[in-house]
Structure 1
Amino acid sequence: MRVYLPATLPALARVATAKEFGPAPLTGYAVTPALIEWYASGDTEELEYVALTDAARASLRMLAADRADGVEVAARRVVIAAEVPDEAVAVGADLAERSRVRLARAVALEEIAAVHVDEQSAAADVEAAVAALPAADAGDDDARFTVDGAEAHELLWYATQEIPDLVG
């Protein structure tokens, strides 16, 4: 199953060193039965894009959490795409996050298919989105619009061999 795992550049640097993404449990996003039912008209590519977008949104929250902990982290969303056995993935019944899944184990570097990262030009919008998250969560429509503005940027695709260059 293709699983999209939200991350940050420091987390990606740990993957380069440890040769795995973890520790478990991990929250990811995938094409789940609930997502297929909700987006019945979507083909596989569209459904995977929804899961990727959900993971990118979760990456924003990871950026905010890192910053709250005093970690200096670049304003770039990171999503790790991995191919893991179906039995490694637990699909929940959360209708608010139809694509959300859990992995009870770390993901080995060999299972990582690609990495998706914001380009540098997205930094200002990602920065604004991170700052707007608390107000967006409180229901502020303008803040939600700002958070959605980060999603206007497509994530760039990188092969696993390029991870050291991304974090170097």
Structure 2
Amino acid sequence: MRVYLPTTLPALAGVLAEGRVGGEPIAAFAVTDALRATGGDDEELEYEALLSAGDASLRLLAADPSAPRRRVVLAADVPDAIVTATPDEAGPASVAIGGSVPLKRLASAHVDDAGAAEEIGAAAADPEAGHQDEHELMWYAVQELKYLVE
């Protein structure tokens, strides 16, 4: 199952150093039955799960004023058996992952452009206001992640 893991750049540095995403259970987002019930095709539903993770990343930024003002979402492919839907916690795409996610399971990352930092900073000051929707998350290959945290 493809899951979207919200994080920040400092936390990403820790993930790269440790070789895994930890913190069981891990809060994430995916195409769940509850999300499917809202309608849309598979591509639209995946995008909605990604956006939900982006919103969660914004809340992580709000909690860490020292983190660079860029949302970070890691996409990973994990076994269905370790994923549990938790739709009442953070929307219909919300899931919990039981166990860690090794780096080899990461498929890509989605990160705000550095030029969006001012607007993302303003959105982090009020995460529920929705200002972050003006910026698309940029796609990064897993091999490029080390350059984001240098």
Q: TM-score range by the shorter chain?
A: over 0.9
How big is each residue's C-alpha offset from its partner over 1:128-159, in whole Å with a ceiling of 9 and x where there is no partner?
Answer: 011123xx4xxxxxxx2xxx221121101111
Tell me the equivalent position of 2:112: 118
Alignment pair present for 1:31 and 2:31: yes
Query: Where do residues 89-100 of structure 1 align in structure 2 (5 Å cutoff)?
Result: 89-94=83-88, 97-100=91-94
Task: Provide the rounded CA distance (Å) in 2 between the counterparts of 1:94 and 1:131.
Answer: 24
Tell me the equivalent position of 2:49: 51
Tell me the equivalent position of 2:60: 62
1:163 to 127, 145, 148: 145
TM-score (norm 2): 0.95
> After the TM superposition, which parts of structure 1 deviate over 2 Å for at least 4 consecutive aligned residues?
none
Where structure 1 has 5 or more consecutive residues not aligned to the other structure, the ranges are 137-143
Contact 1:61–1:130, Cα closer than 8 Å, also in 2: yes
TM-score (norm 1): 0.86
Instruction: Give the percent of matched residue pairs that are identical in Structure 1 and Structure 2.
Output: 48
Where structure 2 has 5 or more consecutive residues not aligned to the other structure, the ranges are none
Task: Provide the rounded CA distance (Å) in 2 between the counterparts of 1:157 and 1:111.
Answer: 16
Task: Provide the rounded CA distance (Å) in 2 between the counterparts of 1:132 and 1:5.
Answer: 21
Task: Provide the rounded CA distance (Å) in 2 between the counterparts of 1:58 and 1:86.
Answer: 22
Tell me, what secondary structure is at the counterpart of 1:23?
coil
The structure with more radius of gyration: 1
Change (3 A) 1:94 1:130: same
Tell me, what secondary structure is at the counterpart of 1:98?
coil
CA RMSD of aligned residues (A): 1.3
Task: Provide the rounded CA distance (Å) in 1 between the counterparts of 2:120 and 2:89.
Answer: 26
The residue type equivalent to 2:63 in the other structure is A
The residue type equivalent to 1:163 in the other structure is L
Change (3 A) 1:19 1:95: closer
Post-superposition shift, 1:64? 1.1
Change (3 A) 1:2 1:128: same
Aligned residue pairs, count:
150
